[in-house]
Amino acid sequence: MNITKKPHFVPATYLQFWSVNNIPNGRKSHIYVTDKNGSRISSASKTGVAKHFYSKINPNKAEEYFQKFEDGWSKLVKELLENKGPKPEILSCLFLLQSSQFLLRNRCFENLSEKERIEVYHNCIETYWTKTIMNNKIGKTHEESLKLIEKNWTCLLVRNKDERFITSDNPTLTLNVKGKNPAIIYIALNPKWSLLALNNEVIKLKSNNLTEQDIDYLNNYTIGNCNREVYSNKPLNKESLSKFIEYMKIRPEKNSYYDDKTLHLISYDYPILGMEFSFIE
């Protein structure tokens, strides 16, 4: 068995849907990677990886643990793109559950502990599902769990025809509204589609449609949420690239940290017009 010395913290199965030719091809896909030095094309196999990220003793254990999730994610995105699979409201709930894997599996925890991580990640993901997504309630069946999610969250699959969404090495955003954390969970699925999950205790939905300004806000939040890199199917335009490089020079320290008991995640307060999205009432 090959030893996985550089595991992905952003899975290739996610990155493949940002392919420059819009044809997902797993680890062989090529995407645009933007960092403080500019934009370049890189393969998914070499993007979002770090040496011994999860384990120094048994690195393949992490690969085996995440494999089932990655296969499921790829299936869901392909069903969305092919207009197949479950109804949109069910599909969006499934994407919300999967998004926690990206939230807790990212570079902001790199080199902050020498301990073996995979069991901690597993426990934190389970805790996040229970406390944040399910509001401390567990459904006895798959259908009951989906109903609980629908009670707690308004989940939307939103589309932009111009393929303007971007993503990063920390792709799941948790956004504050009125002190509630998280009030919005957001993840771009590919350049055309994104998931928005709105906390029903805090947010009332005004519209299912995103404006051009909304997309700009979400892309700006994506840049603000990144650790080091932004990913896309085409290079950032000159204005966006200039803003990104300038932001990386002055960016604040992250509030997230890792210890031997749990992962602590505090959503960043983005200084962009106070969350004035058109879809929020």
Query: Which of the two residues, 233 and 57, has the higher pLDDT score?
Result: 233
Q: How far apart are CA 87 and CA 157, in angstroms?
A: 11
pLDDT(168) > 60: yes
Q: Are 54 and 119 in contact (CB under 8 A)?
A: no
Q: Are 99 and 162 in contact (CB under 8 A)?
A: no
pLDDT(208) > 80: yes
Two tokens at 92? 């969006």
pLDDT(148) > 80: yes
The whole-number average pLDDT for the span 105-128 is: 68
pLDDT of residue 267: 42
Q: Of 263, 159, 265, 178, whose CA–CA distance to 218 is shortest?
A: 159
pLDDT level of residue 254 (50, 70, 90 thresholds): low
3-state secondary structure of 230: strand
pLDDT(81) > 80: yes
What is the model's pTM?
0.87
Q: How far apart are CA 22 and CA 93, in angstroms?
A: 25
pLDDT of residue 111: 47
pLDDT(259) > 50: no
pLDDT level of residue 268 (50, 70, 90 thresholds): very low
Two tokens at 63? 């690969």
